Amino acid sequence: MAIATTNPATGETVQEFDSLTEQELEDRIQRSWDAFQSYRDTTFEQRSGWMRAAADILDAEVDHLAELATLEMGKTFAAAKAEVGKCALGCRWYADHAADHLADHPWDPADAPENARVFTRYQPLGPVLAIMPWNFPYWQVFRFLCPALMAGNTGLLKHASNVPQVALAIEDVLVRAGFPEGVFQTLLIGSSMIEAMVDDDRVRGVTLTGSEPAGREVGARAGKNVKTSVLELGGSDAFIVMPSADLDATADAAVASRTLNNGQSCINAKRIIVHEQVADEFQRLLVEKMEALKVGDPMAEDTDLGPMSGPQGLEELDKQVQDSVAAGAKLLTGGKPMEGRGNYYPPSVLAEIPKDAPAYYEELFGPVALFFRAKDLDEAIAIANDSSFGLGGSAWTQDADEAERLVNEVETGMMNINKITASTPEVPFGGAKNSGYGRELASFGTQTFTNAKTVWIQ
């Protein structure tokens, strides 16, 4: 895939970028390794100071940074500004808390003599490679870099090929914030150069957020090299509605969650599973509210849903919908790309989806809600679990016993009751099953790329 900025609202390629040569890549890896030798000895106070300075730059330059994201991947300008703001929040939160996450953790073994000191010390690993997707082009990267850099690692970013300007802007923000040279570098490279990087002894860990096939390849390569890896992959999150839910408010939440980020988030509510007692009414509300969304220019203030990021994603979504309809699924609204320029797909709802339709088991990465009916809680949970994915999920009920069963029985890395799935620095984030492994954010994020060294002194 060419490294280029192509405006999803118009289809116009605005700027193309050259990939690094092999020699340039070698120089960057060496620079990361060299930077690590001294960066690992910086104090938490120094790292926190640079993090806070980065947050201040993000806040001061939010409009410009957000415009780049909207230009390159089509999210609404309002959503892009909120994303940049969240990155500033992440920088400040880790500046405040990382030292606590990484403080020596004491142990008290029974056979230790009185004078013994036994503890875990968290030490940085070295250069960590981050392979990131375009859908939250800032947040996905900051979610990795805030904890990883606070822990004393250096970072090498291979961003998605369609967001090079955002990728370069992130490095620029960190350099201007004062992080020493080489601590965080953006590499404009294609994915064909990743294998050799994972094999490289100087690269001590790898994290990938993206599709399942990419995750399988990178995870296998990391395993072969016995390196720490984190995989945050796709999802087809269930959104379960029980009769005690406030239907109107819950339908608003379903639409918001399904269409967040123009329908291209790993944690969108993709499968709406509704108890049959309230299914007719909920389906009516869902279709009505999806149809009420305003689709258009992502820079316009009143736009709810902008274009999809690229023509390839649009074609793939269209094919999944057409093939599902051919297999017997019923289209309740939308269902074909909009005419005119740009990668626009309307808010759509599919129902009565048979198991052999692509929409049943595959992830639909665009604004198409999948509607399922369940005769009771058991069936709702069974449908939710009938997926190879297990990222997040939400359920809507006022019944505490139902909530408890949902929390225990839905096979996901995250489960929310009466709340849509979202990520925030204070709470761990990650999936189960084919949605990946490892956890980002909270203290998990800070400790992941460290050597948790057991120390016993007596």
Return all residues near 68 (Cβ < 8 A) that are at least 6 apart: 165, 166, 169
| Interaction of residue 160 with ligand NDP, rule CB under 6 A | yes
**Which residue number, 2 or 103, has a Cβ lying nearer to ligand NDP?**
2
Q: Is 342 exposed, middle or buried (0-12, 13-18, 19+ CB in 10 A)?
A: buried
Return all residues near 394 (Cβ < 8 A) that are at least 6 apart: 237, 238, 239, 240, 253, 257, 269, 415, 416, 417, 418, 419, 420, 421
The residues in 388-427 that bind ligand NDP, with binding defined as CB under 6 A, are 391
Site size toward ligand NDP (CB under 6 A) is 29
Please identify the residue of the shown chain whose CB is closest to the bound ligand NDP.
210
The span from the CA of 190 to the CA of 201, in Å, is: 20
Helices 62-73 and 44-60: angle between axes, nearest 10 degrees: 70
Query: In the set 19, 191, 225, 333, which binds ligand NDP (CB under 6 A)?
Result: 191
Query: In the set 211, 225, 277, 451, which binds ligand NDP (CB under 6 A)?
Result: 211
| Interaction of residue 210 with ligand NDP, rule CB under 6 A | yes
| Interaction of residue 190 with ligand NDP, rule CB under 6 A | yes
| Interaction of residue 132 with ligand NDP, rule CB under 6 A | yes
| Interaction of residue 135 with ligand NDP, rule CB under 6 A | yes
Task: Enumerate the β-bridge partners of residue 271.
Answer: 238, 370
| Interaction of residue 133 with ligand NDP, rule CB under 6 A | yes
| Interaction of residue 214 with ligand NDP, rule CB under 6 A | yes
**Which residue number, 124 or 205, has a Cβ lying nearer to ligand NDP?**
205
| Interaction of residue 77 with ligand NDP, rule CB under 6 A | no
Phi, psi of 109, deg, nearest 5: -70, 145
Which contacts qualify for 377-382: CB closer than 8 Å, 24 or more apart? Answer: 377/242, 377/275, 377/402, 377/405, 377/406, 380/240, 380/242, 380/273, 380/275, 381/240, 381/405, 381/406, 381/409, 381/410
Alpha helices (H) in 392-451, listed in sequence order:
400-409, 442-448
Do the Cβ atoms of 368 and 329 come closer than 8 Å?
no
Among 231, 233, 235, CA closest to 439 = 231
The residues in 347-366 that bind ligand NDP, with binding defined as CB under 6 A, are 363, 365
Using the contact rule CB under 6 A, the part of the chain among 164-172, 204-212, 322-330, 346-354 near ligand NDP is 204-212
| Interaction of residue 314 with ligand NDP, rule CB under 6 A | no
Q: Is the dihedral of CA 6, 12, 14, 18 positive or negative?
A: positive
| Least distance to ligand NDP, CB of residue 17, Å | 12
Query: In the set 88, 148, 241, 266, which binds ligand NDP (CB under 6 A)?
Result: 266
Through-space distance between the first and last CA atoms of the chain, rounded to whole angstroms: 57
| Least distance to ligand NDP, CB of residue 234, Å | 3
| Interaction of residue 131 with ligand NDP, rule CB under 6 A | yes
The residues in 226-255 that bind ligand NDP, with binding defined as CB under 6 A, are 232-235
- Binding to ligand NDP by CB under 6 A, coded x per residue (else -) over 274-313, reads ----------------------------------------
- Kindly report the number of other CB atoms within 10 A of residue 186's CB atom: 23
Active site residues: 232, 266
Edge-first strand listing for the sheet containing 450-457 = 105-106, 117-124, 450-457
Query: In the set 7, 161, 250, 450, which binds ligand NDP (CB under 6 A)?
Result: 161
**Which residue number, 99 or 422, has a Cβ lying nearer to ligand NDP?**
422
**What secondary structure letter does DSSP report for 263?**
G
Site for ligand NDP, rule CB under 6 A: 1, 131-135, 158-161, 190-191, 194, 209-211, 214, 217-218, 232-235, 266, 363, 365, 391, 431, 436
